[in-house]
Every structure is written in C-alpha cells, then in structure tokens.
Amino acid sequence: MEISKTITIGAKTNHSFTIKRFGYGTMRLTGNFVWGEPKNRPEAIEILQTAISKGIYFLDTADFYGQDVTNRLIAEALHPYHEELLICTKVGACRGADKSWRTFDKPENLRASIENNLQTLKLESLPLVHLRVMTHSTTPFEEALQAMFEMQQEGKILHVGLSNVSEEELKTALTMGNIASVENAFGYGQRTSFVSHNQEYRGLQEVMDLCIEHEIPMIPFWSLQNASAAASTDKISVIAEKYQATPAQINLAWLLHLNDLILPIPGTSKLKHFEENIQAFDISLSQEDMDFLA
C-alpha cells in the first residue's frame, strides 16, 4: 500500500506546515512519573538532535512535562531552530508539588502557560498549541477555547488544536474557529476512551469520522501503550515476524497505513528505541496485512 509521506498542519490557512508524517513525543524524556530531569541528559539531547538529522520536524511537548523539563531540553538541544521545525505544545494542565495532575485552564491560567512556553522555548509565536481538555474541569470548554483563539489573534499562537477532546466538544469547537489538529489516545491495542489513575483519556476513534470529514490531522498519544512484545496481540506478532520487525514497529506502521491524516508521535528515552521506531516509516504493509490486522 502507498501511504502519504508528508502531512500538512494548517492546510487551509496562510501559515501551513508540510512535514514528514512522523513525529516525536518528548514526554518520556523526563524523570519517573513525568517529573524532573531525565535519567540520562546527554542521551535526551542526542535524541532531539537525531530527530532533526533524520528529518523529523514535529516535536510534541508541554510545560507540565517534568515542570518545563522537555521545553528546556528542546531549547538547549535545538535552538536556533531548523526552519521547518514545528513545536507543538499543550496547555490546560499543570502539576502539583505532590506530582499530581491538575486543571489549569481558566483564561488567565492559559495565558500564563502560553507566556511560559514562549519564554522557555525562546519563541515569539508558538507554531501549534493544543488545549488539553481535563474532564473534571470547572471551566466551560467554550470559555477556555475562546481564550486560545484570542491569543491566536494576538499572534502568540499560530495554530490552535485540541487534545483529549470528545466528539461533542470537537463539534462545538468547529463552530468557533479553525481547529488545526486533534491529539487523543489511540493505538492498535487501545482505540477508545478509558480511565487510568483517576484520569479519563478520550479515544481518537470516537472523533475520527469528524476529523476525516473536516480533514483535521490526527495525532495519537499513547500509541505504543500496548505494543510491547509481551502485550502485543497475536495478529501484530504474526505481521512482525513476516517483516522481521518489532511489534512496536508494526503498531506504528499500522497507524501510518490506517489513514493519511494520522501523524504518529511515539516517545522514548532510549536512542536505540527511537531509531527503531523511525524504521516503521519505511515498512510497507499490504492491503492483505491491513485486512488481517483489522
């Protein structure tokens, strides 16, 4: 099967980005529990620099990853940035001193997060920002999203996207302004919403038809959650053996073949695994393979 090797963010705007259809999620560069400095800082820096050298220009980050750890690593490793680099950050959450995940989505909170991202990443405008929907928030969704669009009008944000969004919220958002991308949980082994550690994670499957209808790029997080050799399904294992690949590589190849609007962003703190993940981009699955994987 032929797949699209590139994807465009903001295709219907005057500030579009066309990049390789493979990104890197930086969350795992932090310490345990997404908190603090990486265990191996030199390796973290090397992964980011290797990404650019391999033509991977989409980096997913957030200032609540390790308390600004990933943003600082990106700036240290890559600034001044490659002209094609698209840094995607998230706002709407923060971390407590007890390492808890908390909502931080009142308009003034979102503005503070945007200013912090701009400062740490050394940018004048953030290329893409996802409003992370925290399901227990007391802030009306429309109020938070309107604040994002206002900061876009001010030039602080180039493109606005959504993360952890429901179908109804996405429908509402599309009446308010242009949504550049959607980042929800999705992978071969987990496609719909689920609850973990008292947090609800919305599945990409539930908004996929709407994204396809409006040609919105879809960015799956936790796509390798169930992709280890021990946890992979029998079908993934069969295809992995066929191509002499790892289950993780077949999981990623499946994403790439499922729909050309999907932009995988697998994360890892190991350079070896990072380089293995990239190889999935060159695995060509047949229609028979996709039918078998279903």
Query: Whole-angstrom Cα distance, residue 283 to residue 264?
Result: 14
Active-site residue, from 65, 81, 188, 201: 65
Distance separating alpha carbons of residues 171 and 67, to the nearest angstrom: 32
Reported as half-sphere exposure (CB side, CA atoms, 13 A), residue 219 has a value of: 32
DSSP category for residue 203: B
Largest CA distance in the chain: 53
126-132 and 101-103 beta bridge pairing: unpaired
- Count other C-beta atoms under 10 Å from residue 209's C-beta: 10
Question: First CA to last CA across the chain, in angstroms?
Answer: 15
Respond yes or no: is residue 65 known to be catalytic: yes
The angle subtended at Cα 214 by Cα 176 and Cα 64, nearest 5°, is 65
H/E stretch holding 242 reads helix 234-242
What's the number of CA atoms in the CB half-sphere (13 Å) around residue 223? 30
Rounded CA-CA distance 104/234 in Å is: 41
Q: Residue 25: beta bridge partners? A: 60
Do 110 and 148 contact (CB within 8 A), yes or no? yes
Active-site amino acid positions: 65
